[in-house]
Amino acid sequence: MTSGWIMLGLGTLICLGLFANGMRFARLGQPLPADNPNEIKRRMIGMIFMISAPLFWLLFAATCFGLFGPVRNIQTIQLH
């Protein structure tokens, strides 16, 4: 069985990587170019990554804490 704390730590690292990748694609603080539609699509994907990373982390944390029920081979986190 895997500890829920280890799974939560790995999920946090994955979500941080997804958010950083989204920042790289979105390049925050720069104006959007109006003449290149591929650049606009790339920045939109980056923004989607940045929005989905915290949402995925919340769902992953809820799973590690056992809010959706027991998960096979993962020992849920119990707060006393």
Domain ranges for the chain, please list them.
2-75
Classify 29 in phi/psi space as left (phi over 0), alpha (psi -120 to 50) or beta: left
Strands of the chain, DSSP E: 2-3, 74-75
Give the predicted TM-score (pTM) of the model.
Answer: 0.82
Length of the chain: 80
Q: Distance between CA 77 and CA 8 in Å, rounded?
A: 9
Helical axes 37-64 vs 4-26, angle rounded to 10°: 170
What local confidence, expressed as pLDDT, does residue 8 receive? 93
Is 60:74 a contact under the CB 8 Å cutoff? no
Per-residue pLDDT reduced to its tens digit, 28-50: 667 766 677 778 888 889 999 99
